[in-house]
Amino acid sequence: MPRRLGKSTAILWTMNVLGCDGPILPVARILGVMFDFNTRLVTISAGTLGCLAGAVGVYLLLRRKSLIGDTICHAALPGIALSFLLQVLAGGDGKSLLFLLLGAAISGGMGSLSVLVLGRYTKLKPDAILGIVLSVFFGFGMVLFSVVQQLPDGNAAGLENFILGKTASIVTLDFHMIWIATTLVLGMLVLFRKELQLLCFDSAFAAANGWPVSWLDLLLMTSVLLVVIVGANVVGVILVVALMVIPPVCARFWTEQLGRTVWLSAAIGGMAGVMGSLGSLWLERLPTGPSIVLAATFFFLLSFLFGTQKGILWKAWSHYLAQHRADTEHLLRAVFEVLESRGVAPQPHGQIRSEGVSPSALIQMGSWGGSRLRRTIDILCRKGLGNRNSQGDIVLTARGIQESTKAVRRHRLLEIYFSNLADLSPTALDRGADMLEHALDDDMLARLEAEFLPMENANRIPASVHPI
């Protein structure tokens, strides 16, 4: 191997000598290129931008103004084109990044102010205001972009990179701008955390108590504008809105606490930025900006399916467990009431096992289907709450007796409560108690006991208010 080879070249040269191909070669390409300064710069910048956009997007989501980021993104396009034209008229080449971003900031600021003014002084709906401002500024921007393309050097201006991004062209100046914007925006979010929280959850209450709601909205719009400006060179002004919408939505599938939502959204946005950058290294000719958005979409699908708060599969699994728990408690109560009707009700103290109850008696008593009853009996046996005797009857264990006593007690206390509220039929009383008894916590149970059971009989099981 020749001397003085760079680390990336050395890794690729070694893999080539060893004859590695297939899926190993892209891994080697990533490991090799990661030693390059530009690759590290791009990856860190994309990850930082994702964290920043994810944190800001949470407040937009809670404020129900997620699309205002899209409006500001489109509103920034006329400023970019006007800045280029002004630089050309002044004798320059029009490619000064600072002036282009300054034009985007001014134009985007005008767009955000237009949204705030129209929302305060007109009776237009928020979605109509966003649509109007977005359409006007975007149309004006496209007209100016067409004028730029007709100039002699317009095709080489590179302004289209501000639309879809060109992450590979990130320089140290962009990196510094991203970190400065991150410091400013996160500092504002931390400093005004309580005020923004009140604004997002109850703006009417905040305004009634004298909080400067308009200034807080302007502060939030300024944060969005900074994210759009610094994200123009990473994913483009059009795609940066995805980083302000997708990570917060993902975080909402996992938690409902604001602090955790902000941190989780920032983490998802950062991981999307890093994964998108690495994905563009893995697959050649894959643009980095869209790949970052695709990485964020992957996290959305993951959260949509497995989120512990609102995920589809998690909700289905929770419903499945709740249904099995309800069936188990209903079966315990049914066994207890059958034995009670025979005069051999199991005692919660001093009794190891109950008398047997046949499945046919349970079917005659309640709305049990054959397969559902067999499945619930199997669950009862697996949990150690009961077992089958030699005749196939269900026998409650000591633990099953305790649980059946609790189930009957909750159910009958609720029936007494409903019977005192209104003159209801036995069927209505039974169904109402069935619906609420599984959600009855210890505090509510204690209140029902204090209300309907005398102190000397606090531990007994109340009699049913209707025939079993």
CB 101 within 8 A of CB 240: no
What CATH number should be reported for the domain holding residue 404?
Answer: 1.10.10.10
Same domain, 274 and 324: no
Kindly state whether residues 75 and 96 are assigned to the same domain: yes
What average pLDDT does the segment 107-114 reach? 84
Considering the domain architecture, whether residues 50 and 92 belong to the same structural domain is answered as yes
Say whether both 204 and 147 belong to one domain: yes
The answer to whether residue 28 is domain-embedded is: no
Q: Pull the structure tokens for residue 402.
A: 């305790």
Q: How confident is the model at residue 288 (pLDDT cuts 50, 70, 90)?
A: confident
- Assess whether pLDDT exceeds 90 at residue 174: no
pLDDT tens across 354-373, in order?
Answer: 888 888 888 777 666 677 88
Q: Domain containing 178: what range?
A: 36-310
Check whether residue 40 and residue 133 sit in a common domain. Answer: yes
pLDDT of residue 165: 62
Does residue 328 lie within any of the structural domains? yes
3-class DSSP state of 317: helix
What pLDDT digit, counting tens, does each position of 50-79 carry? 898 888 888 888 888 777 777 877 788 888
More confident residue, 183 or 423: 183
pLDDT value of position 169: 65
Same-domain pairing of 350 and 380: yes
- Matching residue, tokens 């000719």: 285
Do residues 354 and 339 lie in contact, with contact meaning Cβ atoms separated by under 8 Å? yes
| pLDDT of 265 above 50 | yes
Is 3 a member of any domain? no
Average pLDDT of the residues in 107-113: 83
* Confidence (pLDDT) at 300: 93
Per-residue DSSP letter, 388:
E
Amino acid found at 412: R
pLDDT at 298 exceeding the cut of 60: yes
Question: Is the domain of 345 the same as that of 442?
Answer: yes
Structurally, the chain folds into a number of domains equal to: 2
Instruction: Look at residue 376 and tell me whether its pLDDT is greater than 80.
Output: yes
Instruction: Look up residue 205 and give its two tokens.
Output: 């209450």
Establish if 466 belongs to a structural domain. Answer: no
Contact 261, 252 (CB under 8 A): yes
Please tell me whether residue 256 adopts helix, strand or coil conformation. coil
Q: Please compute the mean of the pLDDT values over residues 248-255 and round it to a whole number.
A: 91
Among 258, 286, 310, give the residue marking a domain's end.
310
- Which of 287, 310, 333 is a domain's end point? 310
Average of per-residue pLDDT values in the chain: 78
62/408 Cα distance (integer angstroms): 43
Q: Which of 16-30, 41-55, 261-275, 321-335 has the highest mean pLDDT?
A: 261-275
Residue 297 lies in a domain: yes
Is pLDDT of 6 > 60?
A: no
Asked if residue 325 and residue 262 are part of one domain, the reply reads no
Q: Per-residue pLDDT tens for 417-456?
A: 877 777 777 777 777 777 777 777 777 777 777 777 765 4
Structural contact between residues 52 and 181, judged by C-beta atoms closer than 8 angstroms? yes
Say if 173 falls within a structural domain: yes
pLDDT at res. 166? 64
> Does 158 have pLDDT greater than 70?
no
Residue where one domain finishes, among candidates 310, 335, 368: 310
Rounded to 10°, the helix 172-191/193-201 angle is 70
> The domain spanning residue 273 has which CATH number?
1.10.3470.10
The answer on 360 and 298 residing in a single domain is no
Residue 20 has pLDDT above 60, yes or no: no
Residue 336 pLDDT greater than 70, yes or no: yes
Residue keyed to tokens 């123009």: 232
N-to-C CA span, the chain: 90
pLDDT at 64: 80
Smallest CA-to-CA distance from 232 within 299, 309, 177, 286 is with 177
- Token pair 């009140």: residue: 198
Cβ–Cβ under 8 Å, residues 413 and 464 = no
Other CB atoms within 10 A of residue 357 CB: 22
Q: Is residue 101 within a helix (H) or strand (E), and if so which, with residue range?
A: helix 97-121
Q: Tell me, yes or no, whether 344 and 420 share the same domain.
A: yes
4 is a domain residue: no
Q: What does the pLDDT average to over 171-195? A: 82
**14: in domain:** no
Note whether 290 and 336 are same-domain residues. no
Rounded CA Rg of the chain: 33
In sequence order, the 6+-apart residues with CB closer than 8 A to the CB of 122 are: 129
Tell me: do 192 and 246 sit in the same domain.
Answer: yes
